[in-house]
């Protein structure tokens, strides 16, 4: 058993998951001066008109408020996607709202876009300043979502506010319409509702690359419809996929799942469906746009399969939690060997 695995099994698993996240993230930020001495691993990847230090990034949800970008980059991540950030600050859903499914190497969350809001995050990023990606500085993605208090009819305006405030600080933007934890949000994936949001954000984002993040629970036909819309609107890419509301095929007992309740499932159980969605998208869009593969990437083989299926870039979150701070470098080294 590795030192991190022992710490996780004997330490972190005894700490409430959300508190463990904050403690672990605080430790990463505190270690940044030492981490910064290590060169970011990997081979440069050209995507979205940008040069990424390597193929692997940290998915949105880990650094919701853009407080540890450079420390996370120093761990080896070639890009860090912060957020989800909403137009208005919000506390998220009541706790507890984060749960480990250790037997499945998975996590259930119903965080509800808890974040400081676009104005505060924009000010924080302005104070950080723009960084040239490379030695210790990752490409910065910003993931934006709908504020819970904003009605669906005003969703485009809400996304526009976030994009206007945050685009000046982003290397790329992601429109998130696929979290299951904001009521009605996934309904916005319907093309007739998604088109005005994407067009509005596109108009205010200027030349910042724009992507949309979709759910693994979309039917195949709906996945293809979103791909067609992305091409029509002129998006630069698609992030596939977000968490799932499905619970089939899990090792975790049904009684435990019932006690946990609603939320998005991430981790190893997503591997198959996320790979399928990626293949569907690449078959539809050809080489016209960047695809970021995320969902259930745990091993080098998982990462390589996603690249072989057409992903230009990869992202992970749950495996990082289970495998520890040395995991990003192992994956990057593995897919290059």
Token pair 């912060």 is at which residue? Answer: 82
Q: How confident is the model at residue 337 (pLDDT cuts 50, 70, 90)?
A: low
Work out how many domains the chain is built from and give that number.
1
Other CB atoms within 10 A of residue 107 CB: 23
The answer to whether residue 1 scores a pLDDT higher than 70 is no
Chain mean pLDDT for the chain: 92
Is there a contact between 165 and 118 (Cβ–Cβ < 8 Å)?
yes
Q: Estimate the crossing angle of helix 327-336 against helix 300-308, to 10 degrees.
A: 50
**Percent of the residues in the chain that have a pLDDT greater than 70, as a whole number:** 94
114 is in an annotated binding site: no
- Residue 35's pLDDT is 72
Other CB atoms within 10 A of residue 104 CB: 18
The CATH number covering residue 187 comes to 3.20.20.70
The answer to whether residue 132 scores a pLDDT higher than 90 is no
233-252 confidence digits (pLDDT tens): 999 999 999 999 999 999 99
Range of the domain at 10: 3-336
Which token pair is 238? Answer: 């698609």
Q: Which residues are catalytic?
A: 179
181 is in an annotated binding site: yes
Q: What is the DSSP code (8-state) at residue 190?
A: S
The residue with greater pLDDT, 188 or 54, is: 54
- Residue 238's pLDDT is 97
151-181 confidence digits (pLDDT tens): 999 999 999 999 999 999 999 999 998 877 7
User: Which distant-in-sequence residues (6+ apart) come within 8 Å of 308 by Cβ?
Assistant: none
**Percent of the residues in the chain that have a pLDDT greater than 90, as a whole number:** 82
109 is in an annotated binding site: yes
> Rounded CA gap, 17 and 99, in Å?
6
Mean pLDDT of 188-217: 92
**Coil vs helix vs strand at 2:** coil
Which token pair is 14? Answer: 């005894």
Query: 316, exposed or middle or buried, with CB in 10 Å at 0-12, 13-18, 19+?
Result: buried
Other CB atoms within 10 A of residue 251 CB: 11
22-75 confidence digits (pLDDT tens): 999 999 899 887 776 677 788 999 999 999 999 999 999 999 999 999 999 999
Can you spell out the DSSP letters for 195-240? Answer: HHHHHHHHHHHTTS-EEEEE-TTS-HHHHHHHHHHHHHHT-SEEEE
> Rounded CA gap, 181 and 304, in Å?
30
296 is in an annotated binding site: yes
Order of strands across the sheet that contains 98-101: 98-101, 106-109, 264-267
Token pair 């904003």 is at which residue? Answer: 150
| Phi, psi dihedrals of residue 96, rounded to the nearest 5° | -75, 150
202 is in an annotated binding site: no
């Amino acid at each position: 058993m590795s030192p991190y695995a022992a710490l996780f099994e004997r330490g972190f698993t005894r700490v409430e998951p959300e508190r463990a996240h904050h403690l672990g993230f605080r430790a990463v930020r505190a270690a940044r001066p030492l981490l910064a001495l290590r060169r970011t691993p990997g081979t440069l990847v050209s995507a979205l008109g940008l040069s990424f230090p390597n193929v692997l990034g940290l998915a949105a949800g880990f650094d919701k408020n853009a407080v540890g970008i450079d420390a996370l980059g120093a761990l080896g991540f070639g890009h860090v996607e912060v957020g989800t950030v909403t137009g208005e600050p919000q506390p998220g859903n009541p706790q507890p709202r984060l749960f480990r499914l250790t037997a499945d190497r998975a996590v259930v969350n119903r965080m509800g876009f808890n974040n400081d809001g676009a104005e505060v995050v924009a000010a924080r990023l302005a104070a950080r300043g723009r960084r040239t990606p490379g030695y210790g500085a990752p490409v910065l993605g910003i993931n934006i979502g709908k504020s819970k208090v904003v009605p669906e009819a005003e969703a485009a305006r809400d996304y526009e506010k976030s994009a206007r405030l945050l685009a000046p600080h982003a290397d790329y933007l992601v429109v998130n319409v696929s979290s299951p934890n904001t009521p009605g949000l996934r309904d916005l994936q319907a093309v007739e509702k998604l088109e005005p949001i994407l067009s509005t954000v596109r108009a205010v984002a200027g030349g910042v690359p724009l992507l949309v993040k979709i759910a693994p629970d979309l039917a195949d036909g709906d996945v293809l419809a979103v791909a067609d819309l992305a091409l029509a609107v002129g998006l630069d890419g698609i992030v596939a996929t977000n968490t799932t509301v499905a619970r089939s095929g899990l090792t975790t007992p049904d009684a435990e799942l019932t006690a946990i309740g609603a939320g998005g499932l991430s981790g190893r159980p997503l591997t198959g469906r996320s790979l399928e969605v990626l293949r569907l998208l690449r078959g539809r869009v050809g080489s016209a746009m960047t695809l970021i593969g995320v969902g259930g990437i745990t091993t080098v083989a998982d990462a390589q399969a996603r690249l072989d299926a057409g992903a230009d870039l990869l992202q992970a979150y749950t495996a990082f939690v289970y495998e520890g701070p040395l995991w990003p470098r192992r994956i990057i080294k593995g897919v290059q060997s």
